[in-house]
Amino acid sequence: MPQLIRGKALCVGDNIDTDRIYPSRYIELTSDAAMAEHALEGIEASLPSRLASYGILVAGRNFGCGSSREHAPRSLKAAGIRLILAISFARIFYRNAINLGLPAIAIESQMEVHEEDDLVVDIAQGLITNLTRDSQHVCEAITGFPADVLASGGLVKHLHGTVMNTYEL
């Protein structure tokens, strides 16, 4: 996982629940490619085909509220979202995102970001640079165990690497 993530901002509002992120009618889909076709479809039908051109999802409060299914963060990652910035996250969504290798970072509500702003985020230092508006903002850095999980590409890969390196089978 790179420390610097650059992308255009896609802005969504408050209380975006997991059914709007990934509608439950597609729950039976299992491939990342099929899931990506429906990411954020609950917000706007045309969004899934445009997500990869953004890269950074910027949300309001309580992003990812609702069910505990990991389909929501998985579909976003599969669709090309490399980072989620939000004022606050539903706890289970946050953990699912990190566990799947998708960085999720809390931001301040007064940070000015508009649709398609060009952002560079240093996830280890907790610094957001808005190249479009020539501004910088401090955010939570991702450190410790979550940073290790992200660096490994997700929790399963991290545990596989640490367990396999610790024990000889």
Give the Cβ contact number of residue 32 at 10 Å: 12
pLDDT score for 89: 97
Per-residue pLDDT of the chain (169 residues; tens, 9 = 90+): 679 999 999 999 999 999 999 999 999 999 999 999 999 999 999 999 899 899 999 999 999 999 888 999 999 999 999 999 999 999 999 999 999 999 999 998 888 999 999 999 999 999 999 999 999 999 999 999 999 999 999 998 888 876 655 555 4
Structure tokens at 14: 């408050």
Domain that holds residue 148: 4-166
Q: What is the pTM of this model?
A: 0.92
Total count of domains within the chain: 1
Domain containing residue 48: CATH number:
3.20.19.10
d(CA 49, CA 45): 9
Decide: 34 and 142 in contact? Cβ < 8 Å: no
pLDDT score for 164: 59
Structure tokens at 63: 């992003």
Q: What is the dihedral of CA 42, 47, 48, 50, to 10 degrees?
A: -170
